Amino acid sequence: MLRPLIVITSALAAGLALGWLAYHYVAVTEQYMRWLMV
């Protein structure tokens, strides 16, 4: 159980980090919209 736990936890970390990157990459578009108005 330990070895699958290590692999799956790492895979989860990779998935969450990828999602986190995608979220912030997309969300920064709003800053560009605000930039249009400053």
Partner 1 sequence: MTVVGLDLRYILRETPLGYFLVTGAGLAMLLLCLGLTLGALRGGRLRRARAGEPAGRFSWAAELVTVAAALLVPALIVASVQIARGQVHAALGATDPSQKVTFIARGVAGQLNALALGGQVLVLLLPLAGAALGLLLARRAQLGGLRRATALAASRGEEALEVRAWRAHPGPGVGHLLPLTLGAGVLGAGLCTGVLTWCTDLIRSFSAVAGVDPADKARLLVLGMDEARPALERIPPVLGVAALALAVVALFVLDAPARARRRIAPELAPGLSWTATLVGAGACLAAAAICALLALPYRAENHDPLPVKLDGGHVLAPEPGIELPPLEGPDRLERAPVLTVRSQEVSIEGQQLDRPARLAEQLEVLRHNWKLINPGRDFPGELLLLADHRVRFARLAPWLRAARGAGYAGLALGFMQSQTLERPLLGRIVASRESAARLDLGGATPGAEPHRFSGAPPAGSGPLLLEPPPELGYDRLARVVVQARRARRAVTLLLP
Positions touching partner 1 (CB under 8 A) are: 1, 3-38
CB 15, min distance to partner 1, A:
6
CB 16, min distance to partner 1, A:
6
Ramachandran category for residue 3: left, alpha or beta (phi over 0 → left; psi -120 to 50 → alpha): alpha
CB 17, min distance to partner 1, A:
4
At 21, list the tokens.
């990157």
Torsion on CA atoms 13, 14, 19, 24, rounded to nearest 10: 90
